[in-house]
Amino acid sequence: MDGPLLTIDRADDRPLGVQLVEGLRRGILSGLLQTGDPLPSTRALAVELGVARSSVVAAYDQLAGEGYLEVRQGAPTRVARLAAPPAPAASTSGASPATAEGPVRTVVAGVASSTPATTVQTGRGAPEAGAADAGAAGGGADAAAVDLRPGRPSTARLDERAWRAAWRAAARDAVPDDTPPDFGSPRLRAEIAEHLRHARGVTCPPDDIVVTAGTSDAVALLASALRIVVGGRPRVAVEHPGYPSARRVLERRGALETVPVPVDRDGIEVAALRAIRPAPHAVLVTPSHQYPLGGRLPVATRLALLEWAEASGALVFEDDYDSEFRHVGPPLPALASLDGAGHAVLIGSFSKVLTPWLRLGYLVLPPNPALRAAVAAVRDDETCPVPGIAQAAMTELLATGAVRRHIAAARRDYAHRRTLVVDALDGIDGAPLSGLDGGLHAVVGLPSHAAAARVVARLAGVGVLVAPLSEYSAIPGEGPSGIVLGYASPPDSRLAGALGRVRQAVDEALGR
């Protein structure tokens, strides 16, 4: 039996677009539309509902961005596979006032109150399940785990047409018989300089840009260059807690000694850095969104950091990994913009802006001849690791505005997902939520490393992967305790279910 797919109520004062999105989402969450079901073409649905086709296109696009639909060129749009919800039996706590399931149930409840005015049939029989099964849409034992470990952006909004066009254009170029230029293609460096001006307010000539294979490559390159600049074995201060891979890359690739510096709610404690004797040769910091705690270094502290660098002749490596996504408060200037003395190196990457699948990032070198010569010497031996054709495609994506448009669309999605995190996890006594002012991850504090370990294990058991804060410690066993959650990658529906499970696990760990 075919059921109604969608109802539009012209008496409803919500805009048509909102009704379209909510109606379709409801259809999917209620089980009326199931994983793999094809949707009508945008043209057919627009005709049936008597709405503009552009409204339907926008609604499909939004739902695809949220993960409810799969849009594929040349094939019908279909309902995506959704995450399995928390099993009812696991719901031991009746006191979770704002789990992610809340909004979902509200939407489903809305079905009853809506007055059908126009109906559209699906091509597939509606299941028996009604509102009670809302959470189970598309779910089942075969649903994949939801990976909430930080570091992954959403690629759902990527403009596939622009992506393919960029690679097609790049593949038309003649194929040189040489390695790409050591610092990257001049055209790409110019586009990155332009991108930095727009997206980050950093003004630099293309000559300052070095194309990298991402942040690890940048850190490795700087580690090798620092060895040349310093002569002996350099010492590099790192944030504690901080980015563990970068710390290990420094230690392994450059055989450097790292010195942990504690982090407060704003970011690195400059007083602690200043107290280190002898002063380290460099410091690796994440001032825009401390990784992982999420603090943002105030301008005064940034200036103090640069003063320290100048006084001690040290370099500051600024890992600016997700500053494009700022949810609360204005973006603060990069250290590179505040630095007048040639000490700050900006490390940027398209891993969060587009996808880490690309392995493409960049450095911005300060006017520091010794550092520049050392970086050039390292690249001369090791060559630029980024394929020439990938540089050409990235140039195209930047030049055509595809990257700018993608950031704008992703920013909206991330802001929405962030509210899901706040709705599900904010205000738990003994488990403070933090780090949400910018970026793509949040931290839930917990009373002990043991409690955090229990939450991580419990969640892994129900298919939700999160990272314990202890993984980021630069001093084993020390540092704040809690869990880190990346919320950018899973579509809304999967994220909401997973956050409900996180809430349950945290409640359990707190003995509730």
Is 267 near a second copy (CB under 8 A)?
Answer: no
Q: Which is nearer to a second copy, 202 or 371 (CB)?
A: 371
Residue 322: exposed, middle, or buried by beta-carbon count in 10 A (0-12, 13-18, 19+)? buried
Exposure on the CB side of residue 436, measured as CA atoms within 13 A: 21
- Which one of 55, 323, 337, 355 is in contact with a second copy (CB under 8 A)? 355
Name 271's Cβ contacts closer than 8 Å, sequence gap at least 6: none
Minimum Å distance from CB 270 to a second copy?
A: 27
Is 389 near a second copy (CB under 8 A)?
Answer: yes
- Which one of 356, 432, 434, 471 is in contact with a second copy (CB under 8 A)? 356
Kindly identify the residues of this chain, within the stretch 453-492, that bind a second copy according to CB under 8 A.
Answer: 488-489
Exposure on the CB side of residue 255, measured as CA atoms within 13 A: 6
Q: Which is nearer to a second copy, 33 or 378 (CB)?
A: 378
Is 357 near a second copy (CB under 8 A)?
Answer: yes
Is 353 near a second copy (CB under 8 A)?
Answer: no
Select from 334-342, 378-386, 420-428, 472-480 the region that touches a second copy (CB under 8 A). 378-386
| Three-state SS letters, 78-137 | EECCCCCCCCHHHCCCCCCCCCCHHHHHHHHHHHHHCCCCCEEEEEEECCCCCHHHHHHC
Is 412 near a second copy (CB under 8 A)?
Answer: no
Q: Which is nearer to a second copy, 23 or 292 (CB)?
A: 292
Is 388 near a second copy (CB under 8 A)?
Answer: yes
Q: Which is nearer to a second copy, 142 or 380 (CB)?
A: 380
Name 118's Cβ contacts closer than 8 Å, sequence gap at least 6: 6, 7, 8, 48, 49, 50
Q: Which is nearer to a second copy, 53 or 404 (CB)?
A: 404
Please give the Cα distance from 439 to 421 (Å, whole number).
Answer: 13
H/E element, 282: strand 282-285
Amino acid in position 504: Q
Nearest to 318 by CA among 218, 464, 412: 218
Site string for a second copy, 159-178 (x = CB under 8 A): -x--xx-xxx-xxx-xxxxx
Retrieve residue 352's tokens.
């969060």
Kindly identify the residues of this chain, within the stretch 211-240, that bind a second copy according to CB under 8 A.
Answer: 213-214, 216-217, 220, 224, 227-228, 233
Q: Which is nearer to a second copy, 356 or 432 (CB)?
A: 356
* Helix and strand totals (H; E) in the chain: 16, 17
Is 390 near a second copy (CB under 8 A)?
Answer: yes
Q: Which is nearer to a second copy, 219 or 335 (CB)?
A: 219
DSSP string for 233-281: --EEEEEES--HHHHHHHHHHS--EEEEEEB-SSSB-HHHHHH-SSPPS
Count of positions on this chain that bind a second copy (CB under 8 A): 60
Is 36 near a second copy (CB under 8 A)?
Answer: no
- Which one of 158, 453, 462, 465 is in contact with a second copy (CB under 8 A)? 158
Is 248 near a second copy (CB under 8 A)?
Answer: yes
Rounded alpha-carbon distances, angstroms, from residue 58 to 21, 46, 64, 95: 9, 11, 10, 37
- Which one of 23, 31, 135, 153 is in contact with a second copy (CB under 8 A)? 153
DSSP helix/strand/coil, 315: strand
- Applying CB under 8 A, which residues contact a second copy? 152-155, 158, 160, 163-164, 166-168, 170-172, 174-180, 213-214, 216-217, 220, 224, 227-228, 233, 244-245, 248-249, 252-255, 351, 354-360, 378, 380-390, 488-489
